[in-house]
A and B are shown apart, each in its own frame.
Chain A
Amino acid sequence: MPADVSWCRPEQLPDVMRLIDAAWKRGHVLSRDVELLQWQYPRRADGTLSLLVLNDDAEGPVGLLGAIPIDFNLRGRSLPGAMLALWFVRPGYADGSAGLRLLQRLMAEVNGFVGVLGIRESALPLYRALRFHVVPRVERWVRSFDADGLRALLSERPDVYPPDVVNRWTQPHAAVGLPSADFEIVDWNASLAEAWDDAWRRHFAPGVVGPARSAAYLTWRYVEHPRFRYVVRAAVDRRTAAPTGLVVYRPAEIRDRPQRVLRIVELLARPGADAALAGELARVGRLERAAYADFYCTSAKVAEPLVRAGFECERADEPALPALLQPLDFGRATLNGAFYLSPEHAVGDPFSGDDVYFTRSDGDQDRPS
């Protein structure tokens, strides 16, 4: 009798957390932090969590597929969507194809966009076979704001970072980031929500393929994050008082090291505001004495203001700066992704343009470890 697939009921959470610990990764944060787990997979209308569970009659939960619900924006069209995070079936489980049944159930229910970031190499062929648009490498833009701190960090691993690479990353930058007279940079607050949604709909959504960055999304993803302190700042046009851009970042500690990293996770800006926001990020980077700042993004166009502010795109043929900080991991920086849109919604390949906008904060790639 095949195992049954159903949405996670709240009373299943202890069993689900034990399964994550036993079958996915010992001590994984989602096996320890029920608040984070419930935030990441919010309640659906019927009270279940947006987490599919494979239930075996005898064993209970034996597999999971997390589906972070999103409102998918296809150049102004709003479609249902989900970002996959946490997909596994207990190793050795008798039904070796049960994992696909989880995905089938999800895709049938979503009937829109399904995406994933941070795919294990072993799972990439599966997404390719299912005709997902696979992005082998999400580009990453980086800049140091504390050359001495970065040099000290990289000197821990001379086998990874040869002197010429260290020198390149730690060379002085020209001063950038002068305040703009035309834009005021303000902290996000609830009173901005309506104006931001209007700006999103009119100015950003028509040129974006990716999760909708509505006020509701920003509030859930960043303002209400249960563990990370994200900073959400908007550029407001002084003449019109309308928001014309937005950045989100968080200063991230490195375990057992004094250095910090400025992790940028959103950058949306209209012309003019883009320079002001890039300048704001440079100001914060210096203020925080960030060994480096990074921004993973599928769109080089979006990152252009950062390049003008001294950021560089990491080269595939050079060792990348560390991406995992808790604990520090010098070896795993490449972020990949795979995206799928049901044929009834897609015209051509919607994921091949430079307006495809996913960042490291989509899915569960920016979360506590």
Chain B
Amino acid sequence: MIPDRLREVAADVFDLPPEAVPDDAAAGKLEAWTSLRHLQLMTAVESEFGVRLSTEEMLSLQSLPQIAECLARRGVAT
């Protein structure tokens, strides 16, 4: 189960209703998840959760569960 705040951020970036963003949303699985939207998502995550992702993280975080895990590892409240 991904955190609601993260789902809402993703829904906003992908221009979808939150309920249309599945728990396992990932690049390559969600049609709206394009390269540009991916980077917009990373920027939105940084802004919403007050973190700074490295370029390598931006490229390697390929799904919402991975993003949630990354935030949890950093102790970010989601």
Instruction: State the CA gap A73–B34 with chains docked (Å).
Output: 34
List the A residue with the shortest CB-CB distance to B36.
A126
Instruction: State the CA gap A131–B54 with chains docked (Å).
Output: 9
Please report whether the interface of chain B is mostly helix, strand, loop or mixed according to DSSP: helix
**In the assembled complex, which residues on chain B have CB atoms less than 8 Å from the CB atom of A103?**
59
User: Which of B28, B35, B40 neighbours the largest number of chain A CB atoms within 10 Å of its CB?
Assistant: B35
Q: Which residues in window 317-369 of A have CB below 8 A to B?
A: 340, 342-343
Instruction: State the CA gap A126–B40 with chains docked (Å).
Output: 9
**In the assembled complex, which residues on chain A have CB atoms less than 8 Å from the CB atom of B2?**
none
**Is the Cβ of B27 less than 8 Å from the Cβ of A95?**
yes
**Is the Cβ of A97 less than 8 Å from the Cβ of B55?**
no
**Is the Cβ of A98 less than 8 Å from the Cβ of B39?**
no
Q: Give the total number of A-B pairs whose CB atoms are below 8 A apart.
A: 58
Cβ contact of A96, chosen from B33, B39, B43, cutoff 8 A: B33
Q: Knowing A100-B35, A129-B43 are in contact, say whether A95-B28 is a contact too (CB < 8 A).
A: yes
Task: Give the size category of A's interface with B.
Answer: 20 to 34
Chain A: minimal CB distance from B6 (Å): 17
Q: Is B31 in the interface zone, CB < 8 Å from A?
A: yes
Measured CB to CB, the residues of A under 8 A from B are 2-3, 94-101, 103-104, 107-108, 125-126, 129-131, 340, 342-343
Given A104-B59, A107-B56, A340-B55, 9 more A-B residue pairs with CB atoms under 8 Å apart are A96-B35, A100-B38, A100-B39, A104-B56, A125-B36, A125-B39, A129-B40, A130-B55, A130-B58
Measured CB to CB, the residues of B under 8 A from A are 27-28, 31-40, 42-43, 54-56, 58-60, 62
Can you list 5 residue pairs at the A/B interface with Cβ under 8 Å? A96-B31, A104-B56, A104-B59, A126-B35, A130-B59
